[in-house]
Structure 1
């Protein structure tokens, strides 16, 4: 059998294995400890961030009523369309950034709340950074944080420009 190099994950049989363990038992990899980052370390196009933030403001930018589920496009289309979007100014002791809250997230991101954002990503909107949590991430409202938010360092006010770099030969 040819070697494929170092393996990080192995597949194990499900069901019908007969017993607990044995020679073919494979230990599942443990969950990684989250590495909390600060707002001022966020960069365009990055993802997988875990951070604790305070919600300073929340402004609803879209509030549509849900469509009739019997519409011709079907329920799967309805689930993909956000009916509520709010832009929330969130931050920590290093700076602030705009967070785009969608649907159920709007209720969690109320001014005064402290939230842990898990698997957050940076989206670009009109050349500026927006923090977001998609279906692969999670928002947890937690105990009020002890830090004072540094409001004079808003990363969403920094304008970025996409530049094509030509290769010189």
Structure 2
């Protein structure tokens, strides 16, 4: 296994173990050859030697999350606009490994960044404990603290992922400023009820097939709260953020 600090723009057949620290909001790119549109997101990854960018394509965006430990084989590095990025590519593979496995026992080094991008990310507009409103979710993508009311529940569905069979369900939730689809997985699906109030701490948003969604994620916290704590009665379902991107 190679370490991040040994990689360069010529690195091919790369095998390494990394931790995902962060995933940027996804975007769409159009192939100049085929004209096909693809979903792409940039992730920050690290091992004990340093950190770098990794490009996530299509289904991988939904299959991995910040905090996951990945074992990657046969990947490669490319350079675009002065920044190096790790890519799985057509022939590469990855799998999420157990955090208790011997391969996952390392402390990440974020101080050394392999060829950092010349355009640093804009700092988050959200403070560590501030609650945002639904209408602001297009501006904030991670570390989201939000309070909402559940106004619709879709039917749970089963999906197959690299972690095995999972249960996922979408809920339409909102506050007095708007509403958005919330995706919950497995046990969380059965923890919330229609017309009840909840809060999520350390949530995030992503866009899947052009639809903006709120997510609790593996490291978020979901709590039941009172209407008084929520601070509103009316949900503005006319401002549906999950429809505006559709």
What interval of TM-score do these two structures reach, taking the shorter chain for normalisation? 0.5 to 0.7
2:245 is aligned, of 144, 159, 163, to 159
The count of aligned residue pairs is 116
CA deviation string 1:98-125 (max 9, x = no partner): 0001111111232112110111111111
The 5-angstrom pairing of residues 1-169 of structure 1 reads 34-43=129-138, 46-63=141-158, 80-81=163-164, 83-144=166-227, 145-147=230-232, 148-159=234-245
Which has more radius of gyration? 1
Structure 2: gaps (5+ residues): 1-126
SS of match in other structure, 1:104:
helix
Q: For 2:190, what is the secondary structure of its paired residue?
A: helix
Q: Distance in 2 between matches of 1:44 and 1:129?
A: 12
- Normalising by structure 1, we get a TM-score of 0.62
In the TM superposition, what is the alpha-carbon distance from 1:82 to its structure 2 partner?
Answer: 5.2
- 2:156/2:189 contact within 8 Å kept: no
More strand by share: 2
Give the 4+ runs in structure 1 shifted more than 6 A.
none
